[in-house]
Structure 1
Amino acid sequence: MLALACAAQAMVGLDTAIVNVALPSIQRDLGAGYGALQWVVVAYGLLLGGFLLLGGRMTDRLGRRRIFVAGLAVFTVASLLAGAAHEAELLIAARAAQGLGAALTAPAALSLLAVTFPEGRARHRALGLFGAVGGAAGSVGVVASGLLTAGPGWRWAFLLNVPAGVLLIVLAAVFLAADRPAERTGRLDIAGATTVTGALLLFVYTLHHATGHGWTSASTLALFAAAAVLLAAFVRIERRSPDPLVPGSTLRNRTLVAANLTGFLAFGALLAFIFIGSLLMQQALGYSPAATGLAWLATTVTVVVAAIGGARLVARAGARTSLVSGLSLLSVGALWLARVPADATYAADLLPAFLLAGLGFGLCGPAVQIGALSGVSQSAAGLASGLVETMREIGGAAGVAVVSAVLVAGSALDGSGLDGFRAAFGFVAVLAVLGVVAAAAGFTGRRG
């Protein structure tokens, strides 16, 4: 069960970043313009971030095994279509379908772990490994993208998912117990699901829109306003619904709310760190795509080792200690790169920061998930999983979008562009420090 959930999480995480290094090859083979090329990346994150909350609640309402297998099936078919695409439009549509499949798979996998392992050391160990896989998947995706593009070609970044997905579907059908009718609680709140999914889709889209059109442009402000209107409509619907998508009791769970807020800031800081770090190496320091991918191996290995140890730290000292320690280390790593020199070397100027970031996120990644699922009933495990995964994706999208604006603004003041990178890493440090504050203030008692 644990291996199955981790493998599914690895597929979802890998495809978040696996196309990044391959984009120039995709552009050349498909004749895609820069606008279409951006949507190859955006489409996946847009559907993933928009449908995670709905996917989590569908897990509670329709059955964990059913939604897990359905998500894997959608993801696998979409991967086949992406690998076979000969037009940019088809590739973008397939990437969107991948995001939808991932939005069903990720919360179902986390929910399965929550109900399989009882709260305590067993669950902490399971979520530690699950968090290690999720935390390492993004940087492994960058490495894999470079190697596959230089080897058999970019299409294999998608086609490798097909046999893996089929194998996971077969294993799930054989080893996962069938959903019991008693485990399926209530009806799905269609009105609430529609409005909150629309609000999340529009919000994530607006973050990407703002990077190209400006944060204060009329179109960006109008889109943000529309997302706010949909969110307000969702709140109104939930208050009147006899069976709401997000019950009020969920928002009164202090540990769950603190975990989601901290997760939003933590994943925003981490993904912004990886995004800016990759640009720094390629644009300012002259690294090749393959060398950039390999440079992240230090972070990848450190995340895995620290996440497994981090789960033990949560069991002994609580989620607050792990989150405060991990985010503090991440902030120090970002500040280290905020003084990066023009003649930076990997060993002296990049590696220490990459190791600190890996250690920091390895500690806080599992703690976010453990905190989000603490004290949650089995009937609400899917909802709690969907909420924390939504905060992870939206936090990451927001972090990358805002740090891009900081990078552009800072680079305008410096011909070499290094001042922009220094300012961007300073912003990442601020995000991490805000995460420290959220964790310290939000988690209380032994459970925190």
Structure 2
Amino acid sequence: MNVAHTQTDPAAARAPRPGVALAALAAAQFTVMLATSIVNVALPQIRSGVGLSDGGTTWVVNAYGLAFGALLLAGGRAADLLGRRRVLIWGLGLFSVSSLTAGLAASPGLLIAARAVQGLGAAAIAPAALALAMGLVPTASGRGRALGVWGAVSGAGGAGGVLLGGVLTQAWGWPWIFHSVALGAALVLAAVAALAPREHGGEARGEAGRFDLLGTVTVTLALTCLVWGLTTARGTGWTDTGVLSALVGAVALFAAFAVIELRRPHALLPPRLFTTGRVAAGNLLMALLGSVWIALFFFLPLYQQQVLGSGPLATGAGQLPLAVANMFGAAVAPRLSRRIGTTVTVTAALLTEAAGLLWLSRMSADGSYLADIPGPSVLVGFGLSVAFVQLTALAVDDVPPQDAGLAGGLVNTTRQVGGAIGLAALATLAGSVTADAAARQPHLEALTAGYRAAFTLSAAVLAVTALLALVLTRRTGPRTETTAPPPTSEPQTPRIP
């Protein structure tokens, strides 16, 4: 009797289950979002500890956001060409070292430089981790569940950063907000190295060996000018010569980038990225959502600390209702989309968040945490997470496998740039309203008037976004359950022309 023996691939036998690998990749995304908000509560302590000026304190936040937003497209394309796992590991290593350096910094210059390098690491982590996560679940329904996890950890990272920042600052001092991020990134790096799938294929095999250096430099400079001009305008005003020069330079560089991309056979943003699915719609709507998202985590802690008088710990703990609602919304978002459709889900989520922000706009100077924060936070957190999950799905919808990293970089870029634009505009509005009210009202009432105006405008922006979503998210053709093609060979090192 002949007995047939089957041979199994040892590497395949040792491969971790997709759920375990997805957890490691989601932890990388959580770390990036955590670093975005963890410094907000600790800024007064950082200022006195390092000897920062008012402008220097602002750049503790801006340096990270500037590098992160400007380099995301480059990070996404590098992940496609060099290998997503490789870029993710290098990004996590850089992120961990720069975070440790920030915590040890004794001078303003070193702290701000370390935050900029942190942003560089984040720009490599975010698109690479998202592309790897999407590769773990090749079917559309599986990607919906994975994006639910992605939305949950993204929202939890934003809200959890405020909470953890308050706890660490009050317990051990501001350096520990950076030390904790450094330790977390190191642990995530170890998990990714052990659990993330090894790429045996060239995701960028259609573009193998080519890197659009000219386009990458041009768009990075354009994004740098735009984000720098917007963030600086919050402190110096919109008529400042440097701000105006930066914004004009950004417009000129974006125009040059468009011309370059139309003429290059291996463009950084190839036209095919926008010819399938609803990628353009997802990115436009994500930019509008981001304009409100980042501002929310800026103004809400300020109201708690400056008006209600909460300490760092109480301010951080006050974000728990928002964080819990956020995680719940992300968990149910794929199920809602399957039951009532993407268009209805996105529109309802945006209107829910708008209702929460409109509720926040009724806050008062003599209010209390229980009266003014938890109720609207639940609405905001739920609507925000559902919208985030669905818009991320749109932004990577039917994207060719070789462009998955770039698509992840693009949707993160639109959220960051939208956030920079929104925060600059809303901070200017709040400052103007506060300055005008200060002539007639006590200081706390004037501050509250500014915050109310910011939340009111935020609600209006989301209402307009919901109307746009009704039109832009409709699918013109039937959706098919697709499976990504199997990888074939190792990605090649790109040639830089």
State TM-score, norm by structure 2: 0.87
Identity of aligned residues (%): 40
Tell me how far apart the structure 2 counterparts of residues 125 and 229 of structure 1 sit (CA, whole Å).
41
Residue of structure 2 aligned with 1:230, choices 225, 245, 253: 253
Taking the TM superposition and a 5 Å limit, the aligned residue runs for 1:112-261 are: 112-180=132-200, 182-185=202-205, 186=207, 187-253=210-276, 255-261=278-284
| CA-CA distance at 1:48 after TM superposition | 0.3
Q: Secondary structure at the match of 2:356?
A: helix
Greater alpha carbon shift after TM alignment, 197-206 vs 409-418: 409-418
Tell me how far apart the structure 2 counterparts of residues 74 and 431 of structure 1 sit (CA, whole Å).
36
1:438 aligns to 2:468 (yes or no): yes
**Matching residue of 1:36:** 56
| CA-CA distance at 1:308 after TM superposition | 0.5
Tell me how far apart the structure 2 counterparts of residues 274 and 169 of structure 1 sit (CA, whole Å).
27
Supply the AA of the counterpart residue of 2:149. L
Residue of structure 1 aligned with 2:368, choices 323, 345, 352: 345
Q: Secondary structure at the match of 2:278?
A: helix
Residue of structure 2 aligned with 1:419, choices 445, 449, 464: 449
Supply the AA of the counterpart residue of 2:402. S
| CA-CA distance at 1:181 after TM superposition | 5.1
Tell me how far apart the structure 1 counterparts of residues 267 and 286 of structure 2 sit (CA, whole Å).
24
| CA-CA distance at 1:131 after TM superposition | 0.9
Supply the AA of the counterpart residue of 1:182. G
Unpaired segments ≥5 residues, structure 1: none
Q: Secondary structure at the match of 2:66?
A: helix
| CA-CA distance at 1:348 after TM superposition | 2.9
Tell me how far apart the structure 2 counterparts of residues 159 and 69 of structure 1 sit (CA, whole Å).
19
**Matching residue of 1:429:** 459
**Matching residue of 1:54:** 74
Question: How big is each residue's C-alpha offset from its partner over 1:134-193, in whole Å with a ceiling of 9 and x where there is no partner?
Answer: 012111101111110111221121112333323322332233333335333321100000
Supply the AA of the counterpart residue of 2:216. A
Supply the AA of the counterpart residue of 1:118. P
1:354 aligns to 2:377 (yes or no): yes
| CA-CA distance at 1:194 after TM superposition | 0.3
Aligned CA distance change for structure 1 residues 336 and 249 (closer, same or farther; 3 Å): same
Aligned CA distance change for structure 1 residues 317 and 232 (closer, same or farther; 3 Å): same
Tell me how far apart the structure 2 counterparts of residues 27 and 338 of structure 1 sit (CA, whole Å).
29
Aligned CA distance change for structure 1 residues 91 and 255 (closer, same or farther; 3 Å): same
User: Does the 8 A contact of 1:413 with 1:419 survive in 2?
Assistant: no
Greater per-residue helix proportion: 1
Supply the AA of the counterpart residue of 2:122. A
Tell me how far apart the structure 2 counterparts of residues 375 and 254 of structure 1 sit (CA, whole Å).
5
Supply the AA of the counterpart residue of 1:313. L
User: Does the 8 A contact of 1:320 with 1:440 survive in 2?
Assistant: yes
State TM-score, norm by structure 1: 0.96
Supply the AA of the counterpart residue of 1:332. A
Greater alpha carbon shift after TM alignment, 56-65 vs 26-35: 26-35
Aligned CA distance change for structure 1 residues 422 and 164 (closer, same or farther; 3 Å): closer
Q: Secondary structure at the match of 2:39?
A: coil
Greater alpha carbon shift after TM alignment, 251-260 vs 403-412: 251-260
1:78 aligns to 2:108 (yes or no): no
1:400 aligns to 2:430 (yes or no): no
Greater alpha carbon shift after TM alignment, 187-196 vs 254-263: 254-263
User: Does the 8 A contact of 2:219 with 2:254 survive in 1?
Assistant: yes
Q: Secondary structure at the match of 2:436?
A: coil
User: Does the 8 A contact of 2:229 with 2:242 survive in 1?
Assistant: no
**Matching residue of 1:94:** 114
**Matching residue of 2:3:** none
Tell me how far apart the structure 1 counterparts of residues 103 and 214 of structure 2 sit (CA, whole Å).
35
1:369 aligns to 2:392 (yes or no): yes
- How many correspondences in the alignment? 448
Tell me how far apart the structure 2 counterparts of residues 181 and 293 of structure 1 sit (CA, whole Å).
44
| CA-CA distance at 1:214 after TM superposition | 1.4
Supply the AA of the counterpart residue of 1:82. A
Tell me how far apart the structure 1 counterparts of residues 221 and 368 of structure 2 sit (CA, whole Å).
45
Taking the TM superposition and a 5 Å limit, the aligned residue runs for 1:238-387 are: 238-253=261-276, 255-387=278-410
Question: How big is each residue's C-alpha offset from its partner over 1:218-242, in whole Å with a ceiling of 9 and x where there is no partner?
Answer: 3322211101111111111111111
Tell me how far apart the structure 1 counterparts of residues 41 and 371 of structure 2 sit (CA, whole Å).
25
Tell me how far apart the structure 2 counterparts of residues 318 and 68 of structure 1 sit (CA, whole Å).
33
Aligned CA distance change for structure 1 residues 167 and 280 (closer, same or farther; 3 Å): closer
| CA-CA distance at 1:312 after TM superposition | 1.6
Aligned CA distance change for structure 1 residues 153 and 195 (closer, same or farther; 3 Å): same
Q: Secondary structure at the match of 2:246?
A: helix
Q: Secondary structure at the match of 1:412?
A: helix
User: Does the 8 A contact of 1:80 with 1:162 survive in 2?
Assistant: yes
User: Does the 8 A contact of 2:72 with 2:413 survive in 1?
Assistant: yes
Cα RMSD after superposing both structures: 1.7
Greater alpha carbon shift after TM alignment, 428-437 vs 295-304: 428-437
Greater alpha carbon shift after TM alignment, 411-420 vs 304-313: 411-420
Tell me how far apart the structure 2 counterparts of residues 439 and 61 of structure 1 sit (CA, whole Å).
33
Greater alpha carbon shift after TM alignment, 57-66 vs 97-106: 57-66
Tell me how far apart the structure 2 counterparts of residues 427 and 321 of structure 1 sit (CA, whole Å).
23
User: Does the 8 A contact of 2:225 with 2:246 survive in 1?
Assistant: yes
User: Does the 8 A contact of 2:222 with 2:254 survive in 1?
Assistant: yes
| CA-CA distance at 1:248 after TM superposition | 1.4
| CA-CA distance at 1:266 after TM superposition | 1.0
Supply the AA of the counterpart residue of 2:421. A
Greater alpha carbon shift after TM alignment, 230-239 vs 170-179: 170-179
Tell me how far apart the structure 2 counterparts of residues 263 and 194 of structure 1 sit (CA, whole Å).
24
Supply the AA of the counterpart residue of 1:105. I
| CA-CA distance at 1:51 after TM superposition | 0.5
